[in-house]
Amino acid sequence: MNFDFSSEDRMIQEQVRRFLSEQSPLSRHRSVMEGESLQASDVWQGLADLGLQGTAIPEAYGGVGAGYLPLCLVAQELGGVLAAVPFSSSVYLATEAITCFGSTDQKERYLPKLASGEWVGTLAVSEGPHAPSPTNLTVVRSGDRLSGKKLVVPHGLAADFAVVLVTSDAGTDLVLAGLEGVERSAVEIVDPSIAAATIDFAQTQCESLGAPGDGWAMLETVQHRAAVLYAFEQIGGAEQALNMAVAYAKERFAFGRPIGSFQSLKHMMADMYVALKLAESNAYYAAWALQNDAPDLRLAAATARVSATQAFQLCARDNIQVHGGMGFTWAFDCHLFYRRSNYLSLALGGLNEWENKLVDALPSAVA
Amino acid sequence: MDFSDTAAETDFRQTARAWIQDNAPTYLAAPLSGSGFGSTRTGDFDPIAEAKKWQKTKAEAGWACIQWPKEYGGRGATPIESVIWSQEEGIYGKLSGTFIIGQGMCAPTMMAYAGEEAKLRYLPKLASGEEIWCQLFSEPHGGSDLAGLRTKAVKDGDTWVINGQKIWTSGAQHSDYGILITRTDSDVAKHRGLTMFFLDMKSDGVDIRPIKQANGDSGFNEVFFDNVRIPDAQRLGEVGDGWKVALTTLMNERLAIGGSIATGFPEIQALVSELVLASGPASGDQAVRSKLADWYAKSAGLKNTGARAISALSKGEIPGPENSIGKLVAGGMMQDIAKFAVDLQGLGGLVTDPEIARSQAQIQSMLMRSPAVRIEGGTDQILRNIIAERVLGLPEDMRADKGIAFSQIPTSQDSGTR
């Protein structure tokens, strides 16, 4: 037994951290958020130069084949700087879907381009202000054509193709659809750095991913695997939000003393630390479960997801509180973390949904 | 990263499992399964006698305190083997409650500060459960503010004369020995005038009085010292270094308590799986499911945090203040769980008679014992201070007694100093 990442994994993490601290400061995130560009394409290219999009993609398909453990640490670093790149949608979702369920031909066509960062993929599931279910989907697939509207597609403006959840004669399917020429419009969401889109499919060409009718089950598999990687982004963000709060509390004086010396604030930050630590430890276990396809992967993933969502939400929220009025200004970065924490907590379905998944995955009581 | 056993660990696990199968007191399995935190249930058998018996059996076969060196009664096992052992010991580990303080806190302090002769004399008997130890730290005027303690030690030739009072001493009434922190100098700042000793609890002048606790049990005691004499050879660390020695104990306390602490999760999960509410099975109730998920995530987080601490320990890293989170999370959680579990059962959930209440009233004993978990061994508030100051590096709170000689520190609104 050994419950820590290897020094090789840590070296990759360190390398990514160095790159991001130079190329992807929060000011870069801010420029994307304020609409200067759709995504930080220079950062995306830099990540590609380091081979990071292909970290877990097998070498046979143009990836590095380093597995999920280093990818988890890459995710943590991206989460810490709120990187404005479509990494989560393209790597944790689209790539995973094709890796798990693509035919050999599909893997040959898609994975090398995903690994090199040339293509950006995304997953299109949501259709409106309600949680999707096998019975309420309105985007329809008929043969190799796709019609209907997906409302919030993360990184939908930046993506070259989407894995789309659709309803069909067979039930629920996953399909692959190229997005060139498809009508897309920007949709404002809480985190504007996500380049979210409404996508209007009108007789758009598509091909099946996996067996028709298996769409919902495949979606669940992809979401559980992605949940582990999202959890690492979340703990990366939580950690930085906590660091911000601590740094500010040390330097800001009120009543003649640093505000960080007041127990009311200390205890708030101690609770942030506790939530982060629990989330981090659960994420570590889930990373191992993902890498090893452990029998309890679903439980581990849901647990990591619930803890990480709790931790990032708490740290982002209370970071604003520690900053007081300044924390509620546009100029301070607190709201960037708050926005991202809300995006990440809903990107794969909200806390309530994951609590249910967790309980479903619990082994029956033995005590 | 690898959460599965290596070949050597598998061998170790099988050896441990086989030995436990052949030697464990299986006749206690049923009552032990109803044990809640703070109540070790052994049916018709005496809990202390049974605890001592199981400990002795383990010690004779080399399965007691397995992480300790062999010459002190252990097995020289690795931290990971120690985790495997406790996983395999399972329910029978609940018998070890009597020894936790001695083995988990007094022993590491003795190992760090006692002379070799004393270690060879006392540690093996501590490991085998033949002798029980307690920790004499808290006082009526020094709990969270432990360094404000007043029990005095005055040197007289080769011995020290002790006068004063300790309180909240767990298990003092069953103890043969104890480690004792005293004030040896009142004219320096409070942390600097302390000295640590170990003593025979049967010494003349030691008076132990069990305290009737809020839950009706009497696990804690008051201990009075009236001219108790302790040989200077039983001093641990230098005169005036007692605070440093105490920190060794407290750091181990948080590991011992926090590492494998009960959270109440298995108990609430078992209850939910069998309980039917007015709306249907409790396991299908959305509010119940949400709580269950939250508590599972926390208990898994503690377990995995513990696992990471063990890994760090295996690499020779020293357990740090970050381990304070264990008891902080588990204490509040246990109290929340017990309250929620009682709520789910309606008024009937208040029945404390183990003959009538479900699972020998384990939930009810948790409900009544859990407030103490949030206080003993560092209150929730002190633990948050430790995390904030020693982990996050936030500035110290303003301390009214900082840098002042102990004798000059105000003790109440009107009386001024002592």
Query: Closest-CA residue in chain A for B283?
Result: A359
Which of B110, B131, B152 terminates a domain? The answer is B131
CB neighbour list of residue B117: distance below 8 Å, 6 or more residues apart: none
- List of chain B residues with pLDDT < 70: 36-39, 252-260, 319, 415-418
- For residues B265 and B365, membership in a common domain is answered with yes
Q: Is residue A101 part of a domain?
A: yes
User: CA–CA separation, B275 vs B57, rounded Å?
Assistant: 39
With beta carbons less than 8 A apart as the criterion, state whether B383 and A266 touch.
no
- For residues A112 and A135, membership in a common domain is answered with no
- For residues B216 and B296, membership in a common domain is answered with no
User: CA–CA separation, B374 vs A286, rounded Å?
Assistant: 30
- For residues B182 and B224, membership in a common domain is answered with yes
Q: Is residue A292 part of a domain?
A: yes
- The confidence score (pLDDT) of residue B253 equals 62
φ, ψ dihedrals at B380, nearest 5°: -50, -40
- For residues A222 and A206, membership in a common domain is answered with no
pLDDT one-digit tens code per residue, A168-211: 999 999 999 999 999 999 999 999 999 999 999 999 999 999 99
Q: Which residue has the higher pLDDT, B260 or A40?
A: A40
- For residues A202 and A226, membership in a common domain is answered with no
Q: Which long-range contacts (CB under 8 A, 24 or more apart) does B150-157 make?
A: B150/B183, B150/B418, B151/B180, B151/B181, B151/B182, B151/B183, B151/B225, B152/B182, B152/B183, B152/B184, B153/B182, B153/B183, B153/B184, B153/B195, B153/B197, B153/B230, B154/B184, B155/B184, B155/B232, B156/B229
Asked if the Cβ–Cβ distance from A1 to B5 is below 8 Å, we say yes
- The confidence score (pLDDT) of residue A367 equals 39
- For residues B120 and B138, membership in a common domain is answered with no
Residues of A in contact with B289 (CB under 8 A): 355-356, 359
What total number of domains does chain A contain? 3
Q: Residue A174 sits in a domain of what CATH number?
A: 2.40.110.10
- For residues B82 and B159, membership in a common domain is answered with no
**B9 is known as an active-site residue:** no
Is residue A366 scored above 90 in pLDDT?
no
Residues of A in contact with B272 (CB under 8 A): 365
Which of A156, A184, A211 terminates a domain? The answer is A211
Chain A nearest CA to B312, separation (Å):
8
- For residues A37 and A89, membership in a common domain is answered with yes
- The confidence score (pLDDT) of residue B417 equals 60
List the beta strands (DSSP E) in A81-158: 121-124, 140-142, 145-153
Asked if the Cβ–Cβ distance from B293 to A269 is below 8 Å, we say no
With beta carbons less than 8 A apart as the criterion, state whether A299 and B292 touch.
no
Residues of A in contact with B290 (CB under 8 A): 352, 355
Neighbours of A25 (CB within 10 A): 11
Q: Is residue A352 part of a domain?
A: yes
Q: Which residue has the higher pLDDT, A245 or B1?
A: A245
- For residues B142 and B93, membership in a common domain is answered with no
Which of A86, A119, A152 terminates a domain? The answer is A119
Q: Residue B106 sits in a domain of what CATH number?
A: 1.10.540.10
- For residues B110 and B203, membership in a common domain is answered with no
Residue A261 is given by DSSP the state G
Three-state secondary structure readout of B362-417: HHHHHHHHHHHHCCCCCCHHHHHHHHHHHHCCCCCCCCCCCCCEHHHCCCECCCEC
Q: What pTM was computed for the model?
A: 0.94
Asked if the Cβ–Cβ distance from B5 to A354 is below 8 Å, we say no
Q: Is residue B302 part of a domain?
A: yes
Chain B nearest CA to A50, separation (Å):
23
pLDDT one-digit tens code per residue, A73-128: 999 999 999 999 999 999 999 999 999 999 999 999 999 999 999 999 999 999 98
- The confidence score (pLDDT) of residue B258 equals 42
Q: Is residue A72 part of a domain?
A: yes
Q: Residue A84 sits in a domain of what CATH number?
A: 1.10.540.10
Q: Is residue B249 part of a domain?
A: no
Adjacent-strand bridge partners of B183: B152, B194
Tell me the residue range of the domain where B265 lies: 261-378
- For residues A82 and A136, membership in a common domain is answered with no
Asked if the Cβ–Cβ distance from A365 to B266 is below 8 Å, we say yes
- For residues B171 and B269, membership in a common domain is answered with no
φ, ψ dihedrals at B353, nearest 5°: -70, 115
CB neighbour list of residue A322: distance below 8 Å, 6 or more residues apart: A245, A248, A249, A259, A265, A268, A269
Query: Closest-CA residue in chain B for A366?
Result: B270
Asked if the Cβ–Cβ distance from A281 to B322 is below 8 Å, we say no
- For residues A313 and A341, membership in a common domain is answered with yes
- For residues B227 and B268, membership in a common domain is answered with no
pLDDT one-digit tens code per residue, A262-299: 999 999 999 999 999 999 999 999 999 999 999 999 99
Q: Is residue A366 part of a domain?
A: no
Tell me the residue range of the domain where A47 lies: 7-119
CB neighbour list of residue A52: distance below 8 Å, 6 or more residues apart: A16, A74, A87
Asked if the Cβ–Cβ distance from A1 to B297 is below 8 Å, we say no
- For residues B108 and B126, membership in a common domain is answered with yes
Residues of B in contact with A257 (CB under 8 A): 395, 398
Among the partner residues B80, B296, B312, nearest to A303 by beta-carbon distance:
B296
Q: Is residue B404 part of a domain?
A: no
φ, ψ dihedrals at B208, nearest 5°: -105, 125
- For residues A96 and A144, membership in a common domain is answered with no
Could you identify the residue written with the tokens 């003790």? B411
Which tokens belong to A147?
Answer: 């019609």
Asked if the Cβ–Cβ distance from B397 to A263 is below 8 Å, we say yes
With 0-12 / 13-18 / 19 or more C-beta atoms within 10 angstroms meaning exposed / middle / buried, residue B177 is buried
pLDDT one-digit tens code per residue, A252-271: 999 999 999 999 999 999 99
Q: Is residue B374 part of a domain?
A: yes
Which of B104, B131, B158 terminates a domain? The answer is B131
The one-letter code for the residue type at B143 is G
- For residues A131 and A256, membership in a common domain is answered with no
Chain A nearest CA to B298, separation (Å):
7
Pairing of strands A161-168, A121-124: parallel
Strand, helix or coil for residue A204: strand
Chain A nearest CA to B82, separation (Å):
12
What total number of domains does chain B contain? 3
Which of B91, B114, B131 terminates a domain? The answer is B131
Which of A119, A150, A184 terminates a domain? The answer is A119
- For residues B333 and B266, membership in a common domain is answered with yes
Q: Is residue B212 part of a domain?
A: yes
- The confidence score (pLDDT) of residue B257 equals 45
Neighbours of A74 (CB within 10 A): 29
pLDDT one-digit tens code per residue, A46-68: 999 999 999 999 999 999 999 99
Q: Is residue B156 part of a domain?
A: yes
- For residues B139 and B125, membership in a common domain is answered with no
Q: Is residue B29 part of a domain?
A: yes
Interface mutation target, options B384, B385, B402, chain A, most CBs of A under 10 Å: B384
Which one is catalytic: B50, B81, B131, B253?
Answer: B253
The one-letter code for the residue type at B334 is M
